[in-house]
Amino acid sequence: MSRYQKYPAYKDSGVEWIGKIPEHWKVKQARHVLRIHSGSTPKSGEELFWDGDINWFTPEDLGNNQYNNISESRRKITEDGYRSCGTSLAKANSIVLSTRAPIGHIALSTVPACCNQGCRILEQEKGIPEFWYYTLLSAKPILQSLGQGSTFMELPRQSLASFKLPIPPLEEQRAIASFLDWKTAQIDELIAKKEALLKKLDEKRTALITQAVTKGIDPTVPMKESDVEWIGDIPEHWVIWKVTHGFNTIGSGTTPKSDNSDFYEGNILWVTTSELRETVIQNTSQKISIDAFQAHSALKIYPAGSIIIAM
């Protein structure tokens, strides 16, 4: 960013998350530039309310969306369903923001839409919608910190309405949004290339391991048919064993009753699927007590060096 010219003068915005802004910019509450639409849900058992053609966005739609824009909701509602909600339809190019479960999923809707109560739609009254999208995206951690609630965290409407935003002139908003579209597209392309490379490397790694454990590392040795489809040919001097012939013990496990806290206050390592992301397990996130071990006959302690497989 250092190759871009600075503005002639800056001033303190008076807002901690924004910091200093160009002297000619303004700061306003979101309510002064964005119309905030709340969401609602039609009655689930009323067939006339569902499977229409009105997009009805939820936090799940936003969470599953991988792009800046969103144009389709997983479920749609009918005109009757829309009227039953008592909400208003936001025009295309409005921002859809999840405000609970979780706070902060965001996308720019390319179609007129409404939402459920887990979201709010911000329709621009002033300014460039793409600029507001990037501004709120950058403020995601701050918006999350404003969440309230005990059962789940929710961003209150009033907190969103009074949230302060930097306001450049329209032409600068447009230029900033265009610049970010261009630069983020470049970054997304690089990420896609890296992900494709990582996938190929992972496939190569798997193939290398399979080759070594089924064919050995000496390509000159005589081979024979293993009579096992997934193994194929093996070195002539190798033999085939069933798993039961290669291990002293094959066992499973179980989960101690979760309503007994005494079962989870010990020092016995208790492996769950989450630990199997690691090649070697040296510790576990949960440990069980000797009481849990004695109360559940399916629990056994296996020696170091054992292999664990997720079933």
* pLDDT per residue as tens digits for the range 108-163: 999 999 999 999 999 999 999 999 999 999 999 999 999 998 778 999 999 999 99
In Å, how far are 48, 61, 98, 146 from 118, measured between CA atoms? 22, 11, 6, 15
Stretch among 64-78, 176-190, 237-251 having the lowest mean pLDDT: 237-251
What is the pLDDT at residue 117?
94
pLDDT-based confidence at residue 265 (cuts at 50, 70, 90): confident
What is the pLDDT at residue 262?
87
What domains can you pick out in the chain, each with its CATH number?
10-168 (3.90.220.20), 242-311 (3.90.220.20)
Over 60: is that where the pLDDT of 99 sits?
yes
| pTM (2 d.p.) | 0.72
pLDDT-based confidence at residue 3 (cuts at 50, 70, 90): low
* pLDDT per residue as tens digits for the range 293-308: 899 989 999 999 999 9
Contacts of 25 (CB under 8 A, 6+ apart): 13, 166, 167, 168, 169
Q: What is the mean pLDDT of the chain?
A: 93
Over 70: is that where the pLDDT of 97 sits?
yes
- Nearest CA-CA partner of 166 in 117, 122, 128, 215: 128
